[in-house]
Chains A and B, each alone.
Chain A
Amino acid sequence: MSTNGSVGLVQPQRLTFAEDEPFQLDSGATLGPVTVVYETYGQLNADRTNAILITHALSGSAHAAGYHQPDEAKAGWWDDCIGPGKAFDTNKFFIICSNVLGGCYGSTGPSNPDPATGKPYGMHFPVVTIGDMVRAQGRLIDHLGIDSLLCVAGGSMGGMQALEWAAHYPHRLKATIPIATTAHHSPMLIALSEVGRQAIYADPAWNNGDYYDAGLKPDAGLAVARMVGHITYLSEESMQQKFGRRLQDQVRYGYEFRSEFQVESYLKYKGHNFTRRFDANSYLYVTKAMDYFDLSAETGSVAAAFANSADLRYLVLSFTSDWLYPSYHSKELVSALTAAGADVTYLDVQSSWGHDAFLLEVETMTKLLSGFLERLVQSEQVALPSGFPPTVPPKEPTKTEAAA
């Protein structure tokens, strides 16, 4: 049993369903066949009770931990928290992470071929919701033979999925960990999403989403969308620390319109980099899914949405400098859950990193996650997977034994 290590080399896997009977979407449209790409780390225990589903954010993928190739420079997006001896300890838990419906990292999305035409869906791909993403995850969990997850955990859009699981499928999980998220997307968040989408629409290369066979992609539009996104992931304080008013590669102002300030070239670099790894149409679909997210829509209030989910345990986390999903969104959620009688642990973690903090405050997060999960393991009497020694340290040998 290794500690604080990497899960090592991992292999993405695929599940395809809805080949005969199409997958029903919240919009009323149908989709089929549907492919979900996923990765798993650690081992399922004999009674299949140690599974944790990790849900990713807007630009994430199923690749949450480890490496695809031995020489890969960057590990999976939440490698800091997933692995042997880490917060989501793969010596104890069977960790699952899948790419969302509508995404561009292998799960069915607008860049995949439409079986009706054989050409990429583009804007013919049906609009999907967080609810649809979670139902697709449900099919994956069925496929893996798991009745009930120990926990669903995720930050940002991943947190919305974690909340959706808790509110709509309380019988299929014991606990949920929504991090830096909200129970309903606010008008400000919708507005920021829309600026990103408008940047993509305005790029002539977008061509109403039909660009897959053309030589050009709407990279300029997607890059601007990503730049806006990046601003919202930082805080004024973290920008001040990271860049200040420093100039990139000159000493004096050039009095010209090129990227002079460090913050400008950082955003440009991030925007450009993003176009190499993300599909513009997926950006539209996934941001749209977030905009529709409102757990109070059906029931009239967030508390009512969790009325049947009071038996779950919740670990809700927000970050003091996060202005994209400010602490009061989490506090509102915590109030609603408390009123519903749920077991809620909540902390507004002190951090200057803004929304990005949920990936950066590893030390504090590890303390919180491992403490919370350890309590779950004990209260749910979760057995360790076979082949792993029990967590209880072996007894110190007595003197006679040692001498013998």
Chain B
Amino acid sequence: MRGEVEPSAPPRPALSSGSPVLLRSDLLAIADMVPAGSRVLDLGCGDGALLEYLVHSKQVMGRGVERSEEGMLACVRRGLSVRQGNLEEGLADYPDASFDSVILSQTLPFLNDPAMILSEMLRVGSRAIVSFPNWGFWRCRLEMLVAGRIPQVVDLAERWHEAPRWQAFTVADFCDFCHHLDFGILEEIYLSRSRRLQSLRYKNLRATTAVFALQRL
């Protein structure tokens, strides 16, 4: 689904080792949470931009799962190891603890059963890294209040009635969800469009996008 999502900001070059790779700021935030040389599974890896960056700049052992043929072909062209399939298929075959990190980028609002997918991610990997748009952002709240419409977030191109359908939620909702399911929050990065928030104060008001690293408690 990542391929269909409008980038939240123009990509900027990642200034890590190797050749400079243009990576979207939310993907770069994910990349910062991935330890070098670790084993990574990227669910819904799109055209493979993040995975390629991780393989080349962080020397990870990377695997991807992608639904679209277009995305698959782009990934193979980048020299990545990617399987076609949906998230359930992508996860079910892997033995427990096959990966250090399992990534789910900008896909959470589209899931029918996020608890199941996150549990599976934390079965297959020791940590899950997820990013999602935050409907708690002050402009979203204002739009709801003033215009009385479900706000459109910067990371999602689809409107409420368009497929694939999404479910709006906020950083606060997600924290409740993690608490309820005993997922511990290891790291959190918040973005306001492409800019990283330096302080966590009023994060649910100020962030357009959130990136979490989770583990099972």
Contacts and interface: CB of A to CB of B under 8 A. Distances in A.
Interface stretch (B17-25, B72-80, B200-208): B72-80
A350 interface: yes
Interface stretch (B91-99, B108-116, B153-161, B175-183): B91-99
A350 B69 contact: yes
B69 A344 contact: no
Majority secondary structure of chain B interface residues (helix, strand, loop or mixed): mixed
Interface residues of B, number: 20
A367 B81 contact: no
Contacts of B80: 345, 375
Q: Taking each of B77, B83, B89, which has the highest tally of chain A beta carbons within 10 Å of its own beta carbon?
A: B83
B38 interface: no
Interface in A345-392: 345-350, 364, 367-368, 371-372, 374-375, 378
A346 B84 contact: yes
Contacts of B89: 331
A275 interface: no
Contacts of B94: 338-339
A334 B77 CA distance: 20
B76 A367 contact: yes
Interface residues of A, number: 23
A348 B98 CA distance: 24
B76 A372 contact: yes
Contact of B83 (A345, A349, A375): A345
A367 B93 contact: no
A367 B98 contact: no
A328 B63 CA distance: 21
Contacts of B79: 371, 374-375, 378
Interface of B: 63, 69, 72-73, 76-85, 89, 92-95, 98
Interchain residue pairs A-B with the least CB separation, the first 6: A371-B76, A375-B79, A338-B93, A335-B93, A346-B83, A371-B77
Given A338-B83, A349-B69, 10 more contacts: A313-B81, A334-B93, A338-B93, A346-B84, A348-B84, A350-B69, A367-B73, A368-B73, A371-B76, A378-B79
